[in-house]
Amino acid sequence: MLELRPNCEYCDRDLPPHATDARICSYECTFCADCVERVLFNVCPNCGGGFVPRPIRPRTERRPGVCLGKQPASTKRVHLKRDRVECGEFVRSARDTKPDDR
């Protein structure tokens, strides 16, 4: 199940479960749309993959046992493990290649 992480790994902005500006990579690395567009240029600094909008988990239990209340978002904040200079170099090495060609 997708781990709905509570913050942007880069700028630490809150990304609650219903944030429409949360972006994730295939490993669930989670960033805000601003960082993805302006700083990361659609390159995940952890894996080199691209991002997609994070799906919204519904609040309303329309099917038994399946909703945000039953599978709550994570509360464990995640922070970038590498320094920003290294991330910048990493992003530059991949940003000109489309995610499906990386």
Contacts to Zn ion by CB under 5 A: 8, 10-11, 13, 25, 27, 29, 32, 35, 44, 46-47
Question: What whole-number distance in Å separates Cα of residue 13 and Cα of residue 15?
Answer: 6
Tell me the closest approach of the beta carbon of residue 25 to Zn ion, in angstroms: 3
Q: In what order do the strands lie in the sheet with 52-53?
A: 30-32, 22-24, 52-53
Residues 6+ apart with CB under 8 A from 77: 5, 6, 7, 12
Of the pair 19, 32, the CB lying nearest Zn ion is at: 32
Of the pair 2, 11, the CB lying nearest Zn ion is at: 11
Tell me the closest approach of the beta carbon of residue 61 to Zn ion, in angstroms: 31
Of the pair 4, 8, the CB lying nearest Zn ion is at: 8
Tell me the closest approach of the beta carbon of residue 23 to Zn ion, in angstroms: 9
- How far are the Cα atoms of 1, 8, 43, 85, 94 from residue 35, in angstroms, in the given order? 25, 8, 10, 15, 16
Tell me the closest approach of the beta carbon of residue 38 to Zn ion, in angstroms: 9
